[in-house]
Amino acid sequence: MPTPSMEDYLERIYSLIEDKGYARVSDIAEALEVHPSSVTKMVQKLDKSQYLVYEKYRGLVLTPKGKKIGKRLVYRHELLESFMKMIGVNDEFIYNDVEGIEHHLSWDAIDRIGDLVQYFDETPERLTELREVQKKNEEGGDQQS
């Protein structure tokens, strides 16, 4: 299994390749706000772990293993962002909140969050009911001593 740092790189590399068709060291460094030398070290590590194939000055290509994990990591991130929006987390906090929790949740927890998102998506009235509970709680209607 990749480390949380490896996951961040795989997620970003997968997204860059999906968006642009390629991922250069400079693109990855810019996206992750790290130095290119840090990217090179991690890319070499990911190559050694068979998540991608890296050739200096030629670029990198995700292996089937890297693509599969990259796709799952992007799905996890997008699901958690959807969940945060759904439950009413302020947009300005969503990205950092997702970054803060995504590596600490099991795939079982991710699947259960997916179930919950589906539960709310299938019947919008449920989301309306959640908003009513949130409004009541914000007004202090259900405070505990």
CB burial of residue 12 (10 Å; 0-12, 13-18, 19+): buried
The reply, when asked if residue 129 is annotated as ligand binding, is: no
The reply, when asked if residue 78 is annotated as ligand binding, is: no
DSSP annotation of 19 reads: H
The reply, when asked if residue 11 is annotated as ligand binding, is: yes
The reply, when asked if residue 35 is annotated as ligand binding, is: no
Q: Where are the alpha helices (DSSP H) in the chain?
A: 4-20, 25-32, 36-48, 64-86, 91-101, 107-122, 124-138
Annotated binding residues, written as ranges, equal 8, 11, 77, 99, 102-103
Annotated binding residues for Mn(2+), written as ranges, equal 8, 11, 77, 99, 102-103
